[in-house]
Each structure stands twice: as C-alpha cells, then as structure tokens.
Amino acid sequence: MTRWFFLCCLIAFFHQTALPAQPVYLIHDDADPMIALADGLNRKGIRSVLWTQEQAIESKDLDDSLAVVMYIHHELKSVTEQKLIHYAKSGGRLIVLHHGLASGKVQNPKWLDFLGVRLFPNSTSRFPWRVLRGKYQLINLKPFHYVTSHDVVYPATVPYVPSDTPSVEQNLPAIEFPQTEIFLNQVFADAREKTVLFGFRTEIAGTIYMQDRGGWMMKAGKGWVFYFQPGHWPRDFENQAYIQILANAIQWQQ
C-alpha cells in the first residue's frame, strides 16, 4: 500500500510540474491595467505574461501563445502593427482592448483597415469621434454565444435600443462599470463582417447614448480578432463578469 501511495504521489508530482500551458501575451504601454487583467486571468488558470512593445518586437514570433492581448494607448509602432496583423491572419487569437482602437490609431491606417473601422474627427458633422466619462453598461446582444454566456453572471437588466435600426427598446442583461472612459462612433467600414457581441449604454448630463460597439469579433485570415471597449482603469479589470468574458474570448473554440 505504501509503495502504491508513493507511486501515485510521484505521478501527481510530474503531472503538476509538466510544461505550463501556452501563455497569453499582454502587449501594453500601460502596465497597471494589464497587471489587473493578468491577475484575473491567472486566477482562472490562464497563464498571462506582460510584454512591452519593445519585448514584443524583439521576440521571434507569437506563435507559442494561446492568445495575444493588444493594449497600446500611444504610438503603435509599425513593426508591432505588422507583427500583430500577421499573427492574427496566420491563425492567432488577437484580443484588442479599449484604446487599442481609439483616436490615436488614425496614425495607423493599416491597423484601422485591418480592423474594418473608421474614426472621424470630432469636427465632422456625422459620426464624430467623442470620448466621454461616466457609468458604462455593457449590454449582452448575443445571449447564446459562448463568449457572452459561459459562466458570466449579469447583475443588471437595462433598457436598450440596438443601433441596428429599425429596432425597438428591449430589456437586456448588462454588467456595469461605475466610472470609466467611453468611446462614441467607432464606425464599421466592412459591412457585416463582424459579429457584434455587446452594445453599450451610458447617460451623461441627461443624454442617453447607446451603440452596438461594446464588443465584437471577426475572422481574420486563419485567425480571429476580438475587440472589447471597456478597460481604461485597472479597476475595470477587477470586474469578475468582464474577466470571465475575456477568458471566454481566449478559450472559445469555433
């Protein structure tokens, strides 16, 4: 009995110390929010590694990753841009967060073309780019999809009118971020290539804004791209429902 017990313990030891699972690389230029995200993902058994742009550029490739998260606020270097696009088109899972698709990216037209999005100046009369601050409600628009539904608990139900008009107001499940940054008018430029997963709703100074731009996914060559709009502050990545949604995007199998 003692020998069998020892053998079982030995097998368990080698199982636990086997090579770790593929990592998720979090490529960033703002560490604190990604530290919060990495902590949340690690708690769900998803090994997360923080990389600066420079570390990503120096790496040979990204092919050993389970997924790559792009969280670059300021300059997106052309080398990084090319590497991320190549990674996705070659079969990778690319997850773009928050300001990875914000006004600064007008300096990267290839990036916007790749994502199928246009950002117009705030002086434009139709669909001007705007940034707001306030309470953000992420609305589930695809209730039977794995990314939006698997182990996700929605604490609220809110009235929402999809921006795919004509539509009527509906009461839909939502998660809430008490005070964060909100982007208006991320304009789609690729017809219906994207699958919209989430809308967002906010009320600022008595005006309600609702757009089907809270989160989406699309095919890119042999791979997939996801975009999720919330994530300006570290506290946004402490929302457990949101962490579960991001974990689902990483682990989803088509």
Domain CATH code at residue 111: 3.40.50.880
Task: Evaluate whether residue 16 is within a structural domain.
Answer: no
Write out the residue range of the structural domain in which residue 141 sits.
22-251
Average confidence (pLDDT) over 102-108: 97
Place of tokens 């982007």: 183
pLDDT at 92: 97
Reported confidence tier of residue 60, pLDDT bands at 50, 70, 90: confident
Residue 98 pLDDT exceeds 70:
yes
pLDDT band, very low/low/confident/very high, at 20 (cuts 50, 70, 90): low
Confidence bin at 41 (pLDDT 50/70/90): very high
Average pLDDT over residues 38-44: 98
DSSP-derived 3-state class of residue 54: helix
Enumerate residues 6+ apart whose C-beta is below 8 A from 73.
29, 30, 99, 102, 104
pLDDT in tens, 137-166: 999 999 999 999 999 999 999 999 999 889
pLDDT, residue 254, reads 83
- Say if CB 137 and CB 155 are below 8 A apart: no
pLDDT at 247 over 80: yes
Give a yes or no: residue 8 inside a domain: no
The count of domains in the chain is 1
Q: Looking at residue 14, what is its pLDDT?
A: 38
The pLDDT of residue 59: 87
Closest CA to 66 of 22, 25, 107: 22
Is residue 136 domain-resident?
Answer: yes
* DSSP string for residues in 189-249: -STT-SEEEEEEEEEETTEEEEEEEEEEEEEETTEEEEEE---SSGGGGG-HHHHHHHHHH
Give the pLDDT band (50/70/90) at residue 200: very high
Indicate the residue type of 175.
I
Average of per-residue pLDDT across 71-91: 97
As a whole number of angstroms, the distance between CA 89 and CA 105 comes to 20
Long-range contact set of residues 154-162: C-beta below 8 Å, sequence gap at least 24: 154/241, 155/241, 158/201, 160/199, 160/201, 160/210, 161/210, 162/199, 162/210, 162/212
Which amino acid, residue 157? T
Whether a cis peptide bond, with omega within 30° of 0, leads into 33 is no
Q: Where does residue 233 rank: exposed (0-12), middle (13-18), buried (19+ CB within 10 A)?
A: middle
* 8 A C-beta contact, residue 48 and residue 38: yes
Predicted confidence at residue 210, as pLDDT, reads: 98
Is there a domain that residue 1 lies in? no
Please indicate, yes or no, if residue 13 is contained in any of the structural domains: no
The reply to whether 102 falls in a domain is yes
Does residue 7 belong to any structural domain of this protein? no
* Residue 30 counted as domain residue: yes
